[in-house]
Structure 1
Amino acid sequence: MNSAPTLDGDIPVGNWIDRHVPAVLRPYLRLMRLDRPIGTWLLLFPCWWSIALAGDGQPDWLLMGLFAVGAVVMRGAGCTINDIADHKFDAQVERTRGRPIPSGAVTLKQAWAFLVAQLLVGLAILVTLPPVAIALGVGSLALVFPYPLMKRITWWPQAWLGLTFNWGALMGWAAVTGDMALPPLLFYAAGILWTLGYDTIYAHQDKEDDALIGVKSTALRLAAATPRWVVGFYAGTLVLMAAAGWAADLGLAFYPLLGVAGLQLAWQVATGDIDDSADCLEKFKSNRWFGWLVLGAILAGKVA
C-alpha cells in the first residue's frame, strides 16, 4: 500500500510523480504543477463553459478534449513563466522555496527551454482552430507574460490573473462559432470576478511572507475586509452569468442550477477562515465543484 503524499512547502512529496516518473523528469512535471491540477481546472472551465454555451444542445466533445490538453500545456507554461520571474522571491518564502527553480532542481536555462517546448505544443493545438480563435490565442500572450510582474506594481494582481485565466471564455465561443458575441463577453467578465474571489482567498496563505518581501496582493490590500469583498465578487459573478444565460437564450433550467452553484460560493465565504492557510487552500480548491456545477447548468439550459 502506498503512503499518503506529504508536503515539502507547497510541493506534494510521495505522490504519483515520485512513484511512477523517472527522477530526471520529476522537476519538470512539478514546474508544470501536474501534481496540483486545480489550476488547470480553473483555466479550463471558462473554455468549457463557452463551448457548451455556443453549442446547439450537444457540446463538441472533441473540441472540449482539445481545449483540455491545451489547458494542461498552457497552465504549465504559465507556471513556468511565473517561476522564472519569481524564483528570487520564491526562495524567500517558506511555502515556495522548494519549487524546482529556487531549489536548484531546474536551472533558469533549462526552464526557458522547457517553456519554449510547452509553447510550441500549445501553438500546434491553436492552429487547428478558426482564425478568430487563433488571433485570440496569440493575443492571450500579452496577458500571460506580464502577469508575474503585477504583484510588484499593483495591489490587484488577482484582477490581472482574472483577465488571463478566463480568456478561454472568449476562445471557446470563437472556436465553435468563428466569431464573438455578447454571451461569452459576459461570461468573461463573470470569470474575472470569480477569479478575484478565489485567488484573494488563496493569497491569504502568503500574506505574512508577501508583506515582508514587499510583494502586493488583494489579500494584503483588503485584509480583514476580505470576506465582504469576496461576497461582492461572487455576487457579481452570478449576476453576470445569469445575464449571459439570458443573452444566449438558455432554457429556464439554467437558473436554478446556477443558484445551486451559487450556494457553493456562499459556503466558501460562510465557512472560510482567512487566517487559516489550510482552510484557504481548501476553499480555493473547492472552486472545481463550482466549475462543474456551472457547466451542468449551461448544459441543462441548452437541453431545456
Structure 2
Amino acid sequence: MALKSNPLVVLFFKTQKLLEPPTSTEIQACWELCRLHNNIGFWVVYLPTAWAIAMAYKAQPEITTLNAIRLALLYVPLCFGIKSLIMTIDDILDYPFDGQVERTKNRPLPRGAITLQRAWVFFGLQAVIGVELASQVLSLRALYVSMVVWPLYIIYPTCKRWTNLAPIPLGLMFKVGIFMAWSDITANGSIPWDVLTCVYLGAVLWTITYETVYQHQDILDDVKIPGMHSPALLLRGYTIPVCSVTAVGFLGLLALGGWLNGQGVAFYVSVGVAGCILLPTLLRTDIESPAECRAFFLTTPLVGQIILLGFVVDAIVHRIVV
C-alpha cells in the first residue's frame, strides 16, 4: 500500500500510461484531430503559399522551373503539418465548448475517443516533428518569418473566450506562407514587401470572409454558451454586407499586388472569375441556414485554385513570350 501511494511511483505509472502505444480508436481520433478527413484547412494554408511561388517565378527569370516545382511540392507536407497542428490545438483548447455545440459534439475529445492528456501528448509529438522538419527543409529566412506567427498558434484557439475577431489571427497565421515561400525561392535574396504585403492582407480579408460565414453554422448554440465570442455573434444580420466589403477588399488587394509584381492578363482573368464565384455565392447565402453557410465555405478552395491557375498560366506565358 505504501508503495502504491508513493508520489514517484504514481507519477511513473501516469507517465507510462500517457506514453503507451495508441489504440486503433485513438489513431482514428488523431486522424480526426488533424482534420485529415477534411482538407479545406490544407488548401487555405497551401494556396497562398503556391501563389507566392508562382509570383516569384514570374518576377525572377533566374528561378528555374524545376526549383519552382520542387518547392511547390515541398510545401505540401509542411502545409499539411501546419494545418494539422493548428486543428489539434484548437480542438484541445476548445474542448469545453465543443461538447455544447451540435456540429462539434462528436469530435474526438467530446465523445471520449481520446483523453485530453493523450491529445496533449499527440500535439507535443506533432510540434516536435514539425519544428524539426521545418528546420531541415526551410531556409533560415523562411524559418524566421514563420516564427513571427508561432505565438498565434496558441493565441488563436483561445479567441472564443475573449474576442469576436478570431478570423484575424487565423488569417495572419494561415497566410504567412506568402512570405515564407518567396523567401525560400528567391534567387537574389530580395523580398518585395510592398507586393507581398498587399497579397497577404488581401488573403487575411479572404479568411475573414469565409470564416465569418462559416461561424454562422453554430450561432444558435453559441448564443446559449456563457462567455462565447464569434464574428457571427458580433455581426449577425450585418454579416453579408460586411463580408462583401472584405471580399471586395481581398480581390482588390490581390489585384494590386499582382499589378505591383507585373502580372499579366491571365492573372487578372483568374481574379475576375474567382470574384464571379465568390461574390454572387456570398450574396445569395442565407446566414440562417447552416447548410448554405457550409456550402459557401466549401467554395473556398475553388476560389484559391482559380487564382493559382491564373498566376501559373501568367508566369508560363511570360517566360514563353520573353
TM-score normalised by structure 2 residue count: 0.84
Q: Quick one: which of 53, 56, 60 aligns to 1:54? A: 56
Q: Quick one: which of 92, 95, 120 aligns to 1:87? A: 95
* Structure 1 unaligned regions, length at least 5: 1-20
- Name the % identity: 34
Which position in structure 2 is the counterpart of 1:200?
212
Structure 2 counterpart of 1:153, which letter? W
Structure 2 counterpart of 1:129, which letter? L
Structure 2 counterpart SS, 1:96: coil
Residue 110 to residue 24, structure 1, CA distance change in 2 (3 Å): closer
Which position in structure 1 is the counterpart of 2:155?
146
Q: Quick one: which of 169, 191, 204 aligns to 1:180? A: 191
Report 1:60-71 matches (<5 A). Answer: 60-71=68-79
Which position in structure 2 is the counterpart of 1:220?
233
Which position in structure 2 is the counterpart of 1:17?
none
Task: Write out per-residue CA displacement over residues 2-58 of structure 1, whole angstroms, 9 at most, x where no aligned residue.
Answer: xxxxxxxxxxxxxxxxxxx95441111001000011111111111111111111474
- The worse-fitting range, judged by mean Cα deviation, of 287-296 and 58-67 is 58-67
Q: Quick one: which of 13, 30, 39 aligns to 1:37? A: 39
Which position in structure 2 is the counterpart of 1:281?
294
2:186 aligned with 1:171:
no
In 2, Cα distance between equivalents of 1:179 and 1:145: 31
In 2, Cα distance between equivalents of 1:132 and 1:254: 27
Which position in structure 2 is the counterpart of 1:28?
30
Which position in structure 2 is the counterpart of 1:241?
254
8 Å contact 2:25–2:113 — kept in the other structure? no
In 2, Cα distance between equivalents of 1:183 and 1:176: 15
TM-fit CA distance, 1:252? 2.6
TM-fit CA distance, 1:140? 2.1
Task: Write out per-residue CA displacement over residues 177-231 of structure 1, whole angstroms, 9 at most, x where no aligned residue.
Answer: 2553222211110101000000011000011211111311111111111111111
Q: Quick one: which of 141, 146, 169 aligns to 1:137? A: 146
Report 1:8-19 matches (<5 A). Answer: none
Q: What is the count of residue pairs matched by the alignment?
A: 284
2:311 aligned with 1:298:
yes
- Over aligned residue pairs, what C-alpha RMSD do you find? 1.7
Structure 2 counterpart of 1:241, which letter? L
TM-fit CA distance, 1:300? 2.4
Structure 1 counterpart of 2:117, which letter? K
Structure 1 counterpart of 2:52, which letter? S
* Structure 2 unaligned regions, length at least 5: 1-22
8 Å contact 1:84–1:108 — kept in the other structure? yes
In 2, Cα distance between equivalents of 1:101 and 1:24: 10
TM-fit CA distance, 1:115? 1.1
Which position in structure 2 is the counterpart of 1:123?
131
Structure 1 counterpart SS, 2:81: helix
TM-fit CA distance, 1:267? 2.6
8 Å contact 1:66–1:125 — kept in the other structure? no
TM-score normalised by structure 1 residue count: 0.89
In 2, Cα distance between equivalents of 1:122 and 1:55: 27
TM-fit CA distance, 1:122? 2.0
